[in-house]
Amino acid sequence: MSGAARGAPHPAAGEGGPPLIGITTYQEPARWGVWVREAALLPVPYARSVERAGGVPVLLPPAATLRGLDTLVSRLDGVVLAGGGDLDPELYGAVRHPETGPPQPQRDRFELALARAAVDADLPFLAICRGMQVLNVARGGALVQHLPEAVGHRGHAPEVGLVGSHRVRIGEGSRIGGILGASSDVPTYHHQAVSRLGKGLTAVAWTEDQVVEAVELQGHRFGLGVQWHPEEGDDRRLFEALVVAAAGR
């Protein structure tokens, strides 16, 4: 992972206060106290990363209905599409691979709709891991369902349940390159990745094995996707860039 925390100081809040950054959540069975129930969950590093970057995190559970989605998007200043389980391969016209996780139709439906609404509204967003895959599928792209089979190693998720690290090369002239430089050591944990890029998306970062590690949406004010997990590292520059963009709405 990266070294000491880096990046500019927190952006100054606009007249309306610091920007509201919506973060998508998991929907999973969970235990607390005497209860075991289905819950909307989010690993704390996502919210902390937004907060430390100067934004106000707002959790977005996967709604059962898309009613009010446009209203939601109009009240947010930015969005983080968070990581999580695998998208249903039927959504990009593929047959399910044995290693693909169980479907989560409610989360898939909500996040695909949110991604499309954010694009249409020119809402600043940062799509992380699954979130980048959601963005790609929302734009008509497709995914590699099991990377170890495709690249011949498990370096993108080297140990079950533990975040690993690898280096990415970042394209010159890209927005992510302007934030992070020509290369970066990034926290990684994924077994799927982009295969066919969606409409308007440009690949801007790669690992040594040529897996696409970041994309940018052309013509969008701030539309970035990264396959790694910046919230698990100590480099906050991507979150700070998102908050700066969101504060300028």
With a CB cutoff of 8 Å and minimum separation 6, the contacts of 215 are: 132, 135, 136, 194, 197, 201, 202, 203, 204, 224, 225
Q: Is-catalytic flag, 191?
A: no
Amino acid occupying residue 139: R
Which of 111, 216, 231, 232 does the annotation list as catalytic?
A: 231
Q: Is-catalytic flag, 229?
A: yes
Which of 193, 137, 142 has the alpha carbon at shortest distance from 168? 193
Which of 232, 158, 226, 217 has the alpha carbon at shortest distance from 193? 226
Q: Which residues pair with 229 in a beta bridge?
A: none
Which of 129, 156, 166, 190 does the annotation list as catalytic?
A: 129
With a CB cutoff of 8 Å and minimum separation 6, the contacts of 134 are: 81, 87, 108, 111, 112, 115, 127
Q: Is-catalytic flag, 153?
A: no
Which of 111, 156, 229, 232 does the annotation list as catalytic?
A: 229
With a CB cutoff of 8 Å and minimum separation 6, the contacts of 14 are: 247, 248
Active site residues: 129, 229, 231
